[in-house]
Amino acid sequence: MKFKYSNSNKRYYTLDYFYKEKFKSKVFKISLNAGFSCPNKDGTKGYGGCIYCSKLGSGDYAGEKEKSLVEQFNDVKNIMLHKWPDSKYIVYFQANTNTYAPVNVLKEKYESVLFLDNVIGINIATRPDSISDECLEYLEELNKKTYLTVELGLQTIHDETSKLINRGHDLKCFEEMVKKLRERNINVVVHIINGLPYETKEMMMSTAKYLSNLDIQGIKIHMLHILKDTALANLYEKEKFHVLTREEYVDIVCSQLEILREDIVIHRITGDPNPDDLIEPKWLIKKFGVLNEIDKEMARKDTYQGIYKKYPQ
């Protein structure tokens, strides 16, 4: 069986395939750290951030914020040029909340790198409660100049879990922001996390079902990882909640892919924790092993993304 959006053995709609079809070129995302803060850390929405967040604020592999954005960009680009001299680039504002600033500040930061050679787009990682109406207007203008994607952290549709992880917003807030972005024809990618404390497989499947019925263009699926010096590490030490095994995670991801619409691009299906800070799960360090197990399980089941297109909400 060959999945319709694939030029490889993948049975799901990979980001690499999407970029090659759209831009007719190899495309790299270059992660940047623009030095933004987060309203869930400074008291606007809460303190301490989400309980799993590292001190770098979801930007463990973004650039060094002490350097300018152009310097951060060129550091990565110069490495990529040796192997892929004709590639194109998407600048990815990754660390913390990348719309959490006045619009004039956002414009200066975004546009300092947006018009560099061979940059064809921008991805902006943010929170659904941190995009002002003025920012929406600017993003609508920006969307006409470049290939824009806004990445929204959701993590789970279950508000009880959101409270436990100190997310700082509810599902309704998320729904309203997706609607506002899509009304402006802005592409939306949603982050979810499997293995959040006390969530069952059925709860994780409900999150995937919900998103498959929503007007989104992409999804990032993460595995919860417990890092040193986080509130999550303290909770784990105290309560020793269940951490998914690799086999459980592979089963859940394959099941989620089966119910996700076939046109939703899968931007990520596992995580990249810093090994030096990782407490659990240790199996997550072997990223390519996890990816291979997902491929093998889908082949074993002879299944693919979107095979179950009709299902109850």
**Tens digit of pLDDT per residue, the chain (313 long)?**
678 888 888 999 999 999 999 999 999 999 999 999 887 777 777 677 788 887 655 555 566 778 899 999 999 998 888 888 889 999 999 988 999 999 999 999 999 999 999 999 999 999 999 999 999 999 999 999 999 999 999 999 999 999 999 888 899 999 999 999 999 999 999 999 999 999 999 999 999 999 999 999 999 999 999 999 999 999 999 999 999 999 999 999 999 999 999 999 999 999 888 899 999 999 999 999 999 999 999 999 999 999 986 444 3
Q: Does residue 144 fall inside a structural domain?
A: yes
CATH of the domain at 68: 3.20.20.70
Q: Does residue 307 fall inside a structural domain?
A: no
Q: Does residue 1 fall inside a structural domain?
A: no
Q: Does residue 283 fall inside a structural domain?
A: yes
Q: Does residue 38 fall inside a structural domain?
A: yes
Measured at the CA of 264, the angle between CA 263 and CA 269, to 5 degrees, comes to 135
Range of the domain at 232: 15-301
Q: Does residue 254 fall inside a structural domain?
A: yes
Q: Does residue 8 fall inside a structural domain?
A: no
Instruction: Give tens-digit pLDDT for 89-127.
Output: 999 999 889 999 999 999 999 999 999 999 999 999 999
Q: Does residue 207 fall inside a structural domain?
A: yes
Its pTM surpasses 0.85: yes
When divided into structural domains, the chain yields a total of 1
